[in-house]
Structure 1
C-alpha cells in the first residue's frame, strides 16, 4: 500500500474514531442530565430524541409507562402529547391551504354556521395564531365537555369576546375546535380520519386520538398527577371528549414522532415554501406578541426555534438554522408549574450544539433545581451568586413560580422566603407583593399579609385580588377582636 493511501485511511479512521467518541460523550452527557431531571422532578416515565442534520443522534427511554403494572417505557409506548397535538393540526390545515381548498384569509363563517355577528370576521389565520379574541370554551363551567357540539356553541355565543380580532395573542382552545370543524367541512372526513390518513398512514397503534386520559390502552403511557397529601402518583381520569382531539388528543410513540419529523423535514407533508410560511411571525396589532401560525417561536441564545409544548409534560422543538430537532415526552412530574419540558429542550440543545447555549435559560433552570433539592439557605445563596454575576438578569416570574411551587408542596416557610426575596429584587412589582401577602395569609399572619396587600395595591391600583383579600383579612381580624 502506498504511503499516501495509508495516511489517508489513517486520517479517515482517526476522524471516525474522534466523531464516535464525541458522540458517545454527548450521549453520556444527555443521559446523565435526563436522569438528574427525572430524579429531581420525580417523573414516572419519559422518552427523548435528538435529530441533527437529518440523523438520529440520540434516542432513549426512561422509567415506567404504567406504575401499577411496573411496565417500562419503550419504543412501543404511546405518550399523550396534549397541546403538542396542535402542531399536527396546524400541518393538517396548511395541507389544505397548499392544495387550494382553504385560505388563511377565509372568514370562519364560510365554513361554520350559526355564528354571532361579532365572530363573522374572524379568519382562519386568527384561529391558528390565537389572535381570534373568541371566548375560550374551556373557561366556562356551564359549557360541559359532554354537551353536543351545537349546544356548546350556542352557549359560547352568549359569552363576551376577549379582545378585538387580531390585536394580541391569547392561548384559546376554541380556536382549535373550530379548525377541526373546518377541516371536517372541507374534507367530508372526521378530523381524526383526515389527520391519520395524511400524516400517519402506516402508524397503526403508534399514533391514535384519545382525549380521555383515564382510558387505558394496551401500549399507552398512563398520565399521572402527584397527590401532595398522599405523596404519591395517581392516575389522571380527565376526559375532555372527542371535540378536543385537535387540541390535545394525539397519542404517539417517540419512534413515530421521529418519523413524522423526518417527513416534515423532507417536505413530504408540505412544500418547503409552505412549511416556512407556517413559521412566519403573525403581525399582531399590539406589535408586542410573537407567535407563528400554530407554532410557538422561542429564542435560544438569540437563535429562533419553533415548536410547542403540551400538558407541562411534552415538547417538540425545531432549531431550523441549526438543523436540530428535540422531542421530549413524559407522563407526569411532581412540579408541573415549572415548565420542565421546555427546560429539557433548551438544556439538551446546549449539549448538542454549543451555539445554542443560552446562559440566562440555563441559569433559570439551575435556580429551579436548587430550590427544589437544596436547603433554602443554600438555594438562596446560589441565587444571589448568579445575580451578582448577572445583575441585569430578571427572574421575577421564575421566583414567583418557584414560591407557589414550594407553597403548594407543603413548604410554606420556604415559599415565604422566596416571595420576600422577590419583593426585594422587584420593589416596584405589585404582583410580587401580592404573592408575598398570599403566603403570609396562608400562614395566618394576617397583619403582615394586610401590609403587603396594601403595598401591592399601592403599586397596582387595579389589583382586584388585593382589594378582595383586604376585605377578607378585615373580616378575619374583626373575629379576633
Structure 2
C-alpha cells in the first residue's frame, strides 16, 4: 500500500473513531438526562414537562414528557404552551432595559416622573427599586381587602392607603406591586399596551406560541393545564385562578419551548439588548443592608463558585444562564405532587452537562429527599447512611429538615415527625433541628412534647426568639385546656 493511501486510510479511521466517540458521548449524555428526568417525574408524579439545554449556541438536548392535561389525556409536545408564572419577569426586565438602551428611561428616574397621583411615601421610589424588589412598597397580593377580582382602579385606591414595608433601597423583598407599576410605566412611555410593547420588541415575527394571560381558566389553544394535587381527595385538580391582566408583566406570559429557545437565541446574539446593556442588567444591585444578592430583574445563583443568572416561577418553571460556560437550561412543567423541583432539576442537569457545575451537596440532598419519598422510613434511613458514609465531609442536616418539611406540607405529618426525630438523632446539638421537631409536634397537637423541644432549642440558642415565643404560646394554650 502506498504511503499516501496509508495516511488517507489512517485519517479516515481517526475521523470515524472521533465521530463515533462524539456520537457515543451524545447518546450517553441523552441517556443520563433521560434517566434522571424519568426518575424525577416518577418520584414527584409530575404531570408533564419540557426541558431544553443550549450549549455554545446549539440545542444539545430537548425533551417533551407526560401529559399536558390529565383530564383530557393530551400529551406534551412541541406545540404545548406553558405559563411561565414569575419567570415572566425576565422578559419584563429585558423590556425595561430596551427602553433604557433607547434613552427613554433611566434606572435613576423616580416613578413619579411617569405616574401621577402617587402617595407621598411613594414619590422617591425609583425605577431601579422596582426592578430589584427594593422599593419597600406594600405588596398588592398580600391584602385580604385587595382580592384579584377587585376592579383595578379600586385596587390602587386601597393600596395607596397601605403603609410602606421598609425604607426604600434597604433590602430585597419580593413584591408583585413592583411589576404592576412597571407595567404602567412601560405603557406610559411606549404608548402601547404592555403586552403589545413586549410582543413588538421581543417577539416581532412570532405568529403563534406566545400569548399573555394571567387567567388560568381562560381557554388558550394548546396551553397545558396547571395541575394542583389535592391530598384530601388524593388526585390532581385543575388550577383555575384568574390573576387578572395587571399581573401579566409579573406572571402572565405563556410560551412554547420552541419560542423560548428562540427568545434566548435573540438575547445571546445581542438582538434584544446590546452586550453593554446586558452587562448592566446582570450587575449586582447594592442594597443598604449589604446582605442580599440580586441583579436587575434577575436572580443570582452560585454553583461551585460559578455564577449564573435566571429566575423561576410558580414552583414549576425555571430559566438559567451560565454565561461563563455558554450554557442555558430551560425547564417548564405543569404541576407537582410532593415538592417543587425546578431549581434542583436545573442544577442537576447543569452538573451532568458540565462536571465543573456538579454541586455534590445538592445532588446528595436530592438523593436523600428522593429516598424518603420513595421508601418507608427504614429503607430511607439505610439509603441515608449509605450516602452519609460515601460523603463524610458533607453536612446533611438541611437535607433531612427539607425532607421533613416537604412531607409535612404534603399531608404526611406523622412521616415528617419521624424524619424530624431522626434529624435530632443525627444532630443532637442543633437548635434548629429541635425547633423544627417542636413545630411538627405542635402541628400534631402534642403540646407538652412540643414545648419540651422548644425549650431544648432555646437552651442551645438563647437568641432563638421563635422558640421563646412558641413556649409562651403553648403555655397559654395549656392553661385553656
Q: Does TM-score exceed 0.5, indicating one fold?
A: yes
The answer to whether 1:233 aligns with 2:233 is: no
What pairs with 1:87-98 in structure 2 (closer than 5 Å)?
A: 87-98=90-101
Give the unaligned 5+ runs of structure 2. none
2:285 corresponding residue in structure 1: 282
The answer to whether 1:253 aligns with 2:240 is: no
Give 1:358 shift. Answer: 1.0
2:208 corresponding residue in structure 1: 205
2:441 corresponding residue in structure 1: 440
Q: Deviations over 1:272-301 (max 9, x none)?
A: 111122111111222221111111111112
User: Would you say the 8 A contact 2:210–2:255 is kept in 1?
Assistant: yes
User: Would you say the 8 A contact 1:457–1:467 is kept in 2?
Assistant: no
Give 1:473 shift. Answer: 5.7
User: Would you say the 8 A contact 1:211–1:248 is kept in 2?
Assistant: yes
Give 1:14 shift. Answer: 2.1
1:33 corresponding residue in structure 2: 36
Give 1:143 shift. Answer: 1.0
What number of residue pairs does the alignment pair up? 477
1:105 corresponding residue in structure 2: 108
Secondary structure, in 3 states, of the residue corresponding to 2:68?
Answer: strand
User: Would you say the 8 A contact 2:361–2:394 is kept in 1?
Assistant: yes
The answer to whether 1:353 aligns with 2:354 is: yes
C-alpha distance in structure 1 between counterparts of 2:348 and 2:279, whole Å: 25
User: Would you say the 8 A contact 1:453–1:470 is kept in 2?
Assistant: no
User: Would you say the 8 A contact 1:135–1:162 is kept in 2?
Assistant: yes
Give 1:362 shift. Answer: 1.0
- For residues 204 and 477 of structure 1, do their structure 2 counterparts lie closer, same or farther at Cα, with a shift above 3 Å needed? farther
Give 1:426 shift. Answer: 5.8
C-alpha distance in structure 2 between counterparts of 1:208 and 1:244, whole Å: 14
- For residues 112 and 218 of structure 1, do their structure 2 counterparts lie closer, same or farther at Cα, with a shift above 3 Å needed? same
Q: Deviations over 1:242-280 (max 9, x none)?
A: 000011001111111111111111111001111122111
1:369 corresponding residue in structure 2: 370
User: Would you say the 8 A contact 1:207–1:256 is kept in 2?
Assistant: yes
Give the unaligned 5+ runs of structure 1. none
C-alpha distance in structure 2 between counterparts of 1:45 and 1:33, whole Å: 15
TM superposition score normalised by structure 2 = 0.93
Secondary structure, in 3 states, of the residue corresponding to 1:137?
Answer: coil
1:50 corresponding residue in structure 2: 53
User: Would you say the 8 A contact 1:307–1:318 is kept in 2?
Assistant: yes
Secondary structure, in 3 states, of the residue corresponding to 1:102?
Answer: coil
- For residues 135 and 277 of structure 1, do their structure 2 counterparts lie closer, same or farther at Cα, with a shift above 3 Å needed? same
Give 1:376 shift. Answer: 1.5
Which one is further off, 210-219 or 56-65? Answer: 210-219
Secondary structure, in 3 states, of the residue corresponding to 2:162?
Answer: coil
Give 1:412 shift. Answer: 2.3
Give 1:66 shift. Answer: 0.9
User: Would you say the 8 A contact 2:407–2:415 is kept in 1?
Assistant: yes
Q: Deviations over 1:101-152 (max 9, x none)?
A: 0111111111122222222221111111111121111111111222333322
User: Would you say the 8 A contact 1:54–1:262 is kept in 2?
Assistant: yes
C-alpha distance in structure 2 between counterparts of 1:351 and 1:461, whole Å: 41
Give 1:51 shift. Answer: 0.6
- For residues 349 and 183 of structure 1, do their structure 2 counterparts lie closer, same or farther at Cα, with a shift above 3 Å needed? same
C-alpha distance in structure 2 between counterparts of 1:444 and 1:283, whole Å: 44
1:471 to 462, 470, 473: 473
Which one is further off, 148-157 or 270-279? Answer: 148-157
- For residues 424 and 190 of structure 1, do their structure 2 counterparts lie closer, same or farther at Cα, with a shift above 3 Å needed? farther
C-alpha distance in structure 1 between counterparts of 2:443 and 2:166, whole Å: 34
C-alpha distance in structure 2 between counterparts of 1:327 and 1:212, whole Å: 23
Q: Deviations over 1:423-457 (max 9, x none)?
A: 45666765543432232133332210122234455
RMSD, aligned α-carbons? 2.2
1:297 corresponding residue in structure 2: 300
- For residues 162 and 460 of structure 1, do their structure 2 counterparts lie closer, same or farther at Cα, with a shift above 3 Å needed? farther
User: Would you say the 8 A contact 2:447–2:474 is kept in 1?
Assistant: no
Which one is further off, 431-440 or 82-91? Answer: 431-440
Secondary structure, in 3 states, of the residue corresponding to 1:237?
Answer: coil
- For residues 78 and 382 of structure 1, do their structure 2 counterparts lie closer, same or farther at Cα, with a shift above 3 Å needed? same
User: Would you say the 8 A contact 1:456–1:466 is kept in 2?
Assistant: no
Q: Deviations over 1:323-346 (max 9, x none)?
A: 11110110000123xx40011111
Give 1:462 shift. Answer: 6.9
User: Would you say the 8 A contact 1:446–1:477 is kept in 2?
Assistant: no
Secondary structure, in 3 states, of the residue corresponding to 1:346?
Answer: helix
User: Would you say the 8 A contact 2:455–2:467 is kept in 1?
Assistant: no
Secondary structure, in 3 states, of the residue corresponding to 2:450?
Answer: helix
Give 1:422 shift. Answer: 3.9
User: Would you say the 8 A contact 2:48–2:67 is kept in 1?
Assistant: yes
2:408 corresponding residue in structure 1: 407
Give 1:366 shift. Answer: 1.2
TM superposition score normalised by structure 1 = 0.93
C-alpha distance in structure 1 between counterparts of 2:176 and 2:141, whole Å: 7
Q: Deviations over 1:61-110 (max 9, x none)?
A: 00000111110000000011110000000011110000110111111111
Which one is further off, 301-310 or 426-435? Answer: 426-435
User: Would you say the 8 A contact 1:84–1:310 is kept in 2?
Assistant: yes
- For residues 384 and 26 of structure 1, do their structure 2 counterparts lie closer, same or farther at Cα, with a shift above 3 Å needed? same
